[in-house]
Structure 1
Amino acid sequence: MVASSSEDSNSIGSDVEEDLEIINQRIGKEYPNMGIWFLIDALIATLACVRIRDLLLFSIVIFFTHTL
């Protein structure tokens, strides 16, 4: 019984890994420059904001404006 439960958990783990690979491929096709935009936004947010709270808020707003 223990062997079957470990096999089930391994198959679930491999399914999750396959799903993550598919998601990463789709994101790469739809948003090929997302990593560059995120780094630029992080730099702008770091330079523009003084407090941590403002930095988080500013980066979240920029992230959502680029993904819409």
Structure 2
Amino acid sequence: MGASPRTVVIDYGMGNIHSVSKALEAAGHRVRIAENPEAAFPNFDPTHLVLPGVGAFGEGIGRLEKAG
């Protein structure tokens, strides 16, 4: 069996970050939450990126642009 997927969940103020993270962990992922683009996780090297949300994509993009 291969290594577990390594997933970064982007926290940009939308969606339930902790529920998404727990669901990914239950599916076998190693999860880290990033609150900014500069977040560094030594020795993590993510294989997946999740941008959670609740269907309000326009507002989500606005928050991402505002956060840089």
TM-score, scaled relative to structure 2: 0.28
Larger radius of gyration: 1
TM-score (norm 1): 0.28
Larger RCO, structures 1/2 (Cα 8 Å, 6+ apart) = 2
